[in-house]
Amino acid sequence: MIVLGVDPGSVRTGWGVIESRGARLTVIDAGVIRAGSDPPLEQRLCVIHARLCELIAHHGPSCMAVEDVFSKHARSALKLGQARGVVLLAGAQAQLPISAYPPALVKRSIAGSGAAPKEQLGRIVATILGLSKPPPADASDALAIAITHANAARVRMPRPA
């Protein structure tokens, strides 16, 4: 199974692609879509959507895992929700099954604590995937989402008799 994990944001959207073969997880690629903060929101959303469509076409994931919206501020939540919407649209257009995970669940599944700091999460993601150093924060978050999904899918899979 190839999982595309996405950490949506209106300025930076993290993404990570992993392959899951049983309990073995391998990173394929990861990065950050930098839409910038200067262009109007609608132009940033176009950049995010177009780049994700390219990534889906290039990597051919079998599913997508996306972080749920969480923000203490209504204005930030609205922008984040709009970015998340174009992420979901890109996945739906590619007919990918999409799963969503709350940020605290992702942190708990990776680091054992729903309040784990980003730096700790990045170090653990690097260790899980055998990387020599943590990826950039947004890419690391996206990889954590993909790992969470791969582990959840493995647990849900029926076992052979």
| Interval 110-135: pLDDT, tens | 988 777 778 888 999 999 999 999 99
- Whether 83 is covered by a domain: the verdict is yes
Question: Per-residue pLDDT tens for 27-84?
Answer: 999 999 999 989 999 999 999 999 999 999 999 999 999 998 766 778 877 888 899 9
Residue 99, in any domain of the structure: yes
For helices 118-129 and 103-111, angle between their N-to-C axes, nearest 10 degrees: 50
Cα–Cα distance, 91 to 97 (Å, whole number):
8
Residue 160: per-residue pLDDT = 40
Domain that holds residue 76: 2-156
Number of domains in the chain: 1
Cα 6 to chain center, whole Å? 2
Cα separation of 65 and 15, whole Å?
10
Catalytic residue IDs: 7, 67, 138
The reply to whether 128 falls in a domain is yes
Q: How many CB atoms sit inside 10 A of residue 106's CB?
A: 26
Q: Is residue 64 part of a domain?
A: yes
CATH number where 111 lies = 3.30.420.10
Domain contains 120: yes
Kindly state whether residue 21 falls inside one of the protein's structural domains: yes
* pTM exceeds cut of 0.85: yes
Domain assignment present for residue 161? The answer is no
